[in-house]
């Protein structure tokens, strides 16, 4: 049967041009890492910028998050009033200590990670117009542990405060105690800082200790709890050995809430628990009161 001459032959269609569609195809975007975080106490989802506005305190349950030494300087001192001291002191790894990695490499890694030379920042500044010497130990650098550099910086800062006749404020955030990689040299820092504070006290000058979470080991056993006034942030863990260490060594169950700032205040080791938002004005008030009483 012959084809119908009136019907046009079917020709193949050219491939469709879909290039115009590519402008509408975008990779799926997720939430940037670190933008939100969960409160470990109330489990609320917190926007990091909102948390920063509240000075690192959960607006729902008042849980006090870790904040860096630099952030604490900005929270405590008057704007642009901080003059850092002794930031050029470095550890020389006197014992040539090696565990999983050499101590010298560990120090370099911590310096790169934190931007700090060691676990303490010291210097002079003003709190509501009142001159102070401020020292802070930062948990981010090897758990805020106290080696020879930390001890030297704290001692020099206290001695300079004595010379200038200024109050000393030490904010402790040391969960690592004395630094094991420096052996007896780190333990010596407990006595060295304590002696400097004793001379400061003999000069009838004020020392305010501020305890934050965590303050443990050789730091808690020496300068952290030697203040004329000892303040603490809410629910901070403060003590020498932790509950797990005590159980593993002497098999003692600790009381509920043992080694919290509330427990220590109840038993006379802490003078006052102060919310982070009130710390600046509380320190200024104590300085004024002590100056009038002197």
- Residue 282 placed within a domain: yes
Rounded to two decimals, the pTM is 0.85
Q: Are residues 149 and 219 in the same domain?
A: yes
**pLDDT tens, residue by residue, 3-56:** 454 545 555 555 555 554 445 555 555 555 678 999 999 999 999 999 999 999
d(CA 217, CA 246): 12
d(CA 177, CA 187): 9
Angle at 275 between CA 274 and CA 280, to 5 degrees: 80
- Residue 2 placed within a domain: no
Q: Are residues 103 and 174 in the same domain?
A: yes
Give the domain CATH number at 176: 3.90.226.10
For residue 184, cis peptide bond before it (omega within 30 degrees of 0): no
The range of the structural domain enclosing residue 207 comes to: 67-293
* Rounded mean pLDDT, 150-169: 98
Nearest-CA neighbor of 162 among 120, 198, 125? 198
**pLDDT tens, residue by residue, 225-282:** 999 999 999 999 999 887 788 888 888 888 878 899 999 999 999 999 999 999 999 9
- Residue 3 placed within a domain: no
Cα–chain-centroid distance for residue 48? 16
């Amino acid at each position: 049967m012959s084809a119908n001459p009136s019907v046009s032959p079917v020709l193949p269609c050219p491939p469709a041009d879909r290039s115009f569609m590519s402008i509408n195809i975008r990779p799926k975007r997720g939430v940037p890492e670190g933008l939100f975080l969960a409160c470990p106490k109330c489990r609320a989802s917190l926007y990091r910028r909102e948390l920063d506005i509240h000075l690192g305190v959960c607006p729902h349950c008042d849980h006090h998050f870790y904040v860096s030494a630099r952030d604490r300087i900005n929270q405590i001192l008057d704007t642009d009033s901080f003059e850092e001291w002794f930031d050029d002191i470095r550890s020389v790894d006197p014992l040539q200590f090696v565990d999983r990695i050499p101590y010298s490499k560990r120090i370099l890694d911590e310096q790169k990670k934190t931007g700090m030379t060691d676990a303490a920042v010291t210097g002079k500044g003003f709190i509501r117009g009142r001159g102070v010497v401020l020292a802070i130990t930062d948990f981010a650098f090897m758990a805020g542990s106290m080696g020879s550099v930390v001890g030297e910086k704290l001692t020099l800062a206290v001695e300079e405060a004595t010379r200038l006749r200024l109050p000393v404020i030490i904010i402790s955030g040391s969960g690592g105690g004395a630094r094991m990689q420096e052996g007896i040299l780190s333990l010596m820092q407990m006595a060295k800082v304590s002696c400097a504070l004793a001379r400061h006290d003999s000069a009838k000058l004020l020392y305010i200790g501020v305890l934050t979470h965590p303050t443990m080991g050789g730091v808690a056993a020496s300068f952290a709890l030697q203040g004329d006034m000892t303040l603490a942030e809410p629910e901070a863990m403060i003590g020498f050995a932790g509950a797990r260490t005590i159980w593993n060594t002497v098999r003692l169950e600790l009381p509920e809430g043992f080694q919290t700032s509330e427990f220590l205040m109840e038993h006379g080791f802490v003078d006052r628990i102060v919310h982070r938002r009130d710390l600046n004005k509380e320190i200024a008030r104590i300085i004024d009161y002590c100056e009038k009483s002197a």
